Structure 1
Amino acid sequence: MHASAVAGRPVPRDPNDLYLRGLGCALVGYAVFGKGFAVLGVAPLYVGEVALGLGLLALMRTRCGFAMLGTPTSVLLGVLIAWVVIRTVPFLGPYGVDAVRDSVIVVYGLFAFVVAALLIENPLRLGWILRVYAGFAFVYGMIGGFLFVLSVTLADQLRIPGTQIQLPYVRAGEAAFHIGAAAVFMLLGLRRVGPLWCATLCINMAVVTVSRAATLACLVPILLGVVLGQQFRRFAPAALIGVAMLAAAALADLRVMMPGDREVGAMQIVEGISSVFGASETANFEGTKEFRLRWWRTIREYTLHGPYFWSGKGFGVNLAMEDGYHSFVTAEFALRSPHNGHMTVLARAGVPGLAIWSALLCTWFGMLVHSLLLARQAGHGRWAAVFVWIACYGAGILVNASFDVALEGPMSGIWFWCVIGLGIGASMIYRAGLVRAIGDPA
């Protein structure tokens, strides 16, 4: 670590600082412009691949390669990436780019190493990340839902002339976990906001909850933040604002029809919440539930109780075709993964892959909770809030990935692994005693 960073003095700008700012711009691009931003570039070098390549160079410049492996989470991530590479290489010949594309669900985990190493090299970068995110969260909380609405209502008008690229192209689940994380950030007091912002946030939450995945990806992080952050008193007024707005919308029977026969309104929110606990009569929430359950059952049968227990089917094969769900593969819609990141790992990497994946997630959340308890015991309230926020961000992305094809793409995948790296780096910085890295008194 830089000596000047330990002493609390700023470090002169270096290439790794520039890279971190570039990575931040890429993450904002994914959040604001979605898939349209992800496909900018020339195949096979898109924004994500360029960011990863430059990130690995930055990682080597930090000379923190061994230090970043100082947590069980880091070691498990390295093992998981190695296992996925082993299960990808045999399929490069027959499937080519498809094999590489399928493997990024885990291989994007290299971003976690990059972010962790950058923070270990200079802990003051964590303070910069929090300051920049505070601005992003403030803006996204007010526009995230509207970005989704624009994406589905003005799709043809938003295409770049002469191309099929649409800007923005933000899906509901992606907007939902960002909105949820922004709400947690403010709830924990990491930035102050007023009632107007809270009201706008509620509107944005309402317009993205058009599916079970989006509903949970938005609400679970907030409820988790309330519990872990002990913010029941602060949450109550915001909850009352949301309930009042929902009641007013219900009385006025406010509804907006979206493309694909999807409806945004008070009853749609109620249906979304009720669908979490049981069956819903609304097609928006039940339309693909049955086929997903059948497909997940098929995957469990040929892995947990079948011939693919140890190896999985590998990376490159189209799981929909291999598993007998041909009706969901068309010229316009080529479904490759079973709408559940955990099941994708199981199907492609076998039970060993799922076991390492599960252990990785458990140790990461456990590490953050342990760091949270240490910070709370030491009276470092800001640090405690940061650990809660990071855990909630990761939880929101994982919830969305449990119902959608999310981690397989850069819009959610790169964000997820950067959050994982942020948690690793922040925990290591705190346990090294560098409390002033984010402004808490020593």
Structure 2
Amino acid sequence: MTALATVRAQERDIGDLYMRGLASLLVGYALLGKGFAYMGLPPLYVGEILFLSGMLMLFRSGCLIATLTAFPNLVLLTLAGWVVARTVPFLGIHGVDAIRDSVLVLYGGFAFVVCALLIEKPGRLAEALRFLGIFCTVYGAGGGILYFLSTSSLLSVISWPAGAIPIMSIRSGEVASHLAGAALYALLLRRRVGTAWTLLLLLGIGLVSAQSRGGMLAIVVPVAVAAVLSGRLLRLTRIATVVGLLFGISLALQLEFQFGTVDERTGGGEARVVSAEQFLNNALSILDDQGPAELSGPKQWRLMWWGKIQDYTLHGPYFWTGKGFGIGLAEDDGFVVWEGEGQTTVRSPHNANITMLARAGVPGLVLWVLLMLAWFGMMLRSMLEARRRGEEEWANAFLFIGCYLLAILVDSSFDVALEGPMLGIWFWCLFGLGVGASLVYRAAGTARP
């Protein structure tokens, strides 16, 4: 992206190597999901290793104070302090579970690292956007295929020696978030999009949307926002018209496609059906409580649990403190559901905002909402400023970063997303990229004659 590459690095240093290592980490999470997260030696997995080395990069850069000139980073630091205060008292009781739950916010350290490295050498911004461009192009074509392969019995039997975790374990919400990123990149930053690539992207979107309501919204919401704010709604409408025609034909002919397998010996695995009817049921179930049991049941379970959390925080004894980080919320709240055969119970209520309320109380939720408003506000201001100056490429870059993070945030409102490294680290790296890009753009603007 030549318009953004105003400063080029003449030589590589350790900060550049770290950025490349971080990019490799993000690709690993996107391609292998939870399977990649288990690389390493417990308790130091690959994400924790990059996190600790990132802290060294942060202090080495000498830009820590500069990162705090951005209001979103100040709010993030305050929120992290509150989370630590609600985690430390429970370390002796819950041990590693307390740390595991606190990464919902403490992975935000990656945001400071990315922001500081961009301030230290602004030329890294072009490198970061180039990486995202290549990743989105490849993932847009192969994300649906990747999700299909992750459900096959062949890959499910290949696991890490230390446990029963398959080497590839990808959730639909993770795939949906990155497919949204691919669609956003094509809409905002790619000059030409081939027909074959578009069809593969739409295939992946259809595959995920038929399986997950949250995944469907994680794609539709940010892409719609980007189309409206960029003035490219007509371009998106044309594609939607073609998709609508194909959907109508598929619905009329009752076409369906089954993927995934069930092990006849153990009964493990899951057969998934993709059809226009299933896609329609998912869409309608978002607004309508009446529907198939497999859709209305999980929705009612979530709403009942969220209601109980609101009762004991907003109207109860945990208003100021929440229940803290470490306690198993499902067990303590009486909503125990097993993640899978031989696995642990669900620990979080499938909504990052509600999780924050339950664990950090109303102060934690207020800081969380303020953080999101501050960050998206910064992206919007930077986008509008770039557009006012006639720098459309900068404006679209800010919109791309903002809507990519929005996709993950939407998914985190329906699934356990930010609580794990697979999307949590992606989220905070995009957060840091947005703040860093805004600070670099502001500095470049003040340097203009």
Q: State which drifts further: 124-133 or 246-255.
A: 246-255
Q: CA deviation at 1:276?
A: 2.4
TM-score by length of 1: 0.93
Q: How does 1:217-366 map to 2 (within 5 A)?
A: 217-258=218-259, 260=270, 262-279=272-289, 281-326=291-336, 328=338, 331-366=342-377
Q: CA deviation at 1:252?
A: 4.1
Quick one: distance in 2 between partners of 1:154 and 1:366? 45
User: CA-to-partner distance for each residue in 1:200-220, whole Å, 9 max, x for gaps?
Assistant: 111010111112111111111
Quick one: distance in 2 between partners of 1:45 and 1:153? 29
Residue 236 to residue 189, structure 1, CA distance change in 2 (3 Å): farther
Q: Secondary structure at the match of 2:273?
A: strand
Quick one: distance in 2 between partners of 1:380 and 1:200? 31
Contact 1:212 1:285 survives alignment (8 Å): no
Residue 27 to residue 252, structure 1, CA distance change in 2 (3 Å): same
Q: Secondary structure at the match of 2:362?
A: helix
**Matched residue type, 1:81:** A
Q: Secondary structure at the match of 1:12?
A: coil
Unpaired runs of at least 5, structure 2: 261-269
Equivalent position of 1:190 in the other structure: 190
Q: Secondary structure at the match of 2:64?
A: coil
User: CA-to-partner distance for each residue in 1:239-271, whole Å, 9 max, x for gaps?
Assistant: 233223323433443212345454211122222
Q: Secondary structure at the match of 2:11?
A: coil
Q: Among residues 382, 404, 408, which one is paired with 1:397 in the alignment?
A: 408
Equivalent position of 2:439 in the other structure: 428
**Matched residue type, 1:276:** I
User: CA-to-partner distance for each residue in 1:281-321, whole Å, 9 max, x for gaps?
Assistant: 23443231111111101111111111111111111100011
TM-score by length of 2: 0.92
User: CA-to-partner distance for each residue in 1:114-150, whole Å, 9 max, x for gaps?
Assistant: 1111111111111111112111111111111222222
Contact 1:147 1:168 survives alignment (8 Å): no
Residue 225 to residue 63, structure 1, CA distance change in 2 (3 Å): same
Residue 321 to residue 331, structure 1, CA distance change in 2 (3 Å): farther
Contact 2:160 2:167 survives alignment (8 Å): no
Quick one: distance in 2 between partners of 1:14 and 1:369? 32
Contact 2:156 2:168 survives alignment (8 Å): no
Residue 76 to residue 263, structure 1, CA distance change in 2 (3 Å): same
Quick one: distance in 1 between partners of 2:293 and 2:195? 34
Q: How does 1:205-224 map to 2 (within 5 A)?
A: 205-209=205-209, 210-224=211-225
Contact 1:88 1:316 survives alignment (8 Å): yes
Quick one: distance in 2 between partners of 1:306 and 1:233? 49
Q: State which drifts further: 79-88 or 325-334.
A: 325-334
User: CA-to-partner distance for each residue in 1:32-91, whole Å, 9 max, x for gaps?
Assistant: 110000111111101110110111111111100110011110000000001101110011
Equivalent position of 1:174 in the other structure: 174
Equivalent position of 1:104 in the other structure: 103
**Matched residue type, 1:346:** L
Matched, 1:418 2:433: no
Unpaired runs of at least 5, structure 1: none
Contact 1:401 1:407 survives alignment (8 Å): yes
Q: How does 1:77-88 map to 2 (within 5 A)?
A: 77-88=76-87
Q: Secondary structure at the match of 2:86?
A: helix
Residue 398 to residue 223, structure 1, CA distance change in 2 (3 Å): same
Quick one: distance in 2 between partners of 1:384 and 1:123? 17
Q: CA deviation at 1:154?
A: 2.5
**Matched residue type, 2:234:** R
Quick one: distance in 1 between partners of 2:219 and 2:306? 24
Contact 1:213 1:402 survives alignment (8 Å): yes
**Matched residue type, 2:186:** M
Q: Secondary structure at the match of 1:66?
A: helix
Contact 1:36 1:169 survives alignment (8 Å): yes
Q: How does 1:14-29 map to 2 (within 5 A)?
A: 14-29=13-28
**Matched residue type, 2:97:** D
Equivalent position of 1:48 in the other structure: 47
Residue 434 to residue 14, structure 1, CA distance change in 2 (3 Å): farther
Q: CA deviation at 1:191?
A: 4.8
Q: State which drifts further: 64-73 or 193-202.
A: 193-202
Quick one: distance in 2 between partners of 1:167 and 1:103? 25
Following superposition, which runs of at least 4 residues in structure 1 exceed 6 angstroms of deviation?
none
Equivalent position of 1:131 in the other structure: 130
Residue 138 to residue 252, structure 1, CA distance change in 2 (3 Å): farther
Quick one: distance in 1 between partners of 2:384 and 2:297? 42
Contact 2:6 2:123 survives alignment (8 Å): no
Q: CA deviation at 1:165?
A: 3.4
Q: State which drifts further: 162-171 or 26-35.
A: 162-171
Quick one: distance in 2 between partners of 1:417 and 1:265? 35
Quick one: distance in 2 between partners of 1:6 and 1:201? 29
**Matched residue type, 1:62:** S
Residue 326 to residue 168, structure 1, CA distance change in 2 (3 Å): closer
Number of aligned residues: 434
Q: State which drifts further: 419-428 or 320-329.
A: 320-329
Contact 1:112 1:420 survives alignment (8 Å): yes
Q: CA deviation at 1:433?
A: 1.8
**Matched residue type, 1:42:** L
